[in-house]
Each structure stands twice: as C-alpha cells, then as structure tokens.
Amino acid sequence: MSDLRIPDLEGKTYLVTGGSIGIGAAVARALGAQGAAVAVHYHENKARAEAVASDIQKSGGKAFLVGGDISQGGGATAVVEAAAWHFGRLDGLINNAGGLVRRRPLVEGDDAFDATVFELNAHSVVRASRAALPWLKKQGGVIINTTSQAARNGGGSGATLYAASKGFVSTFTRGLAKEVVKDRIRVNAVAPGLIATAFHENNTPPEVFKVQEAAIPMGRAGTAEECAGAYLFLASDALSGYITGQVIEVNGGGLMP
C-alpha cells in the first residue's frame, strides 16, 4: 500500500481511536502514508502508539498521540477535542476503538459487565461522533465506524453482547448518515470478519480459531492491513463521494449478506 496515492487525503486531518494496535494501527499508518495528519489514540498501549506515530512520520505524514479511556464518561469527548485543537481542524473521525472485553454467556453476566461492553463499543462511538460534528461541519468530512461481521451473525460463543453492541454501531451509522448529510459529512462503516489481531489472540482458543478459518471461502483469516484499504476508500471523496450510510464487509467471503 506504500505505493498507493490518493491525492485528496494528503494534508487532511484524522483521528483514529484505538490506533495503537490491530486494525486501528493499520489504518493510522495507511492514512499517514497518504500524507495525512493523524491523531493516534491509545488507552494502555502508549509504546505501540509511539511506534505507529513514528511510522507515520517516516512515511511523510504528521502524527499526534492522544491518550484516554473513551469508555468512561467524557473520555471520548476529551480525546476528540485534544486531536482537533492540536491540528486546528478535523476532516475525519475513525471510530475504531472497541473490544470483546471477554467471552461470557449472557446468563453469567450482570449489569456492570453489560454496561462495560456497551460503553466501550457503542456509547463511545456516539460520544466521539457528537464531539467531532462541530469540527466536521466547518468544511465537511467523514466518520468511519468499525463494526463487525458479528453485527449480522450474532457473534461466536460468549460474544452475544459484543455482537449486539456492534449491531448498534451499524444502525447508528445509517441513522447518523441521514442526519448529517446536509452538512457535507459522510458516515459509513467497515465490518471486519475473522482478522488475525490481538482480539482473537486474547479471546479465541487456537483450535477454535482454526475451525473458524476453515469455514472461510478464502481459507484463512485476514490481516489488519487488508482492512485498511476499505477505510482509505471511504475517507476519500474522490473515490466514495456518493457513498454514505453503508457498511463494507471485509471477511474473505465468510459472510455474504
């Protein structure tokens, strides 16, 4: 992707939440390689965020690190404001931060666990988007949300609440797209399928992961880098200027809705 050039991304400013690892890191690096200024958000992985920022700068982009727990109260708002004020503008918000928390059957959960899952995966997207809108309205821009294949198929074992929270993100994407289209803001989402990242390293037993891989028509899991192109496409008005309210599935054929 280092040879790919999308001219209208150069000089633009983006915030990538959860930008220190996995898909977020791949997207942040890909935007930086296009000459964009990228605010790399992290929560606990500052060292990895620093490595991402270094790669962005080496490839010709600009980088700014912004830490914070976006699942807590005003955390998402604070992260957005810090990024926007640092660069003086915001052209795009990539709501990527999220996670399974842990696999737990519904009957074993409680209100506190339920709230943790939804605060991280759903409410943070609402809060970050709300904070970003005044900045995006100044010149138009994009919001790109990371949802999941789980939003359509209900997720794997012990992931019912995670899947439901991602279903919220997919629906929120469509609703917000209608609400802000008049402000020249496009809102779309990317739905990764089985991707070889820390998400599965931490939550999916290797033998289960192999079974899931075998069910994919392409015969393997995807990589974070293979997801990044969908985000670049949706960020570019030149490539996707007439696309809003859509969810792009990136899953190797594992789900064909």
The residues assigned a catalytic role are 162
What residues are paired with 16 via a beta bridge? 40, 94
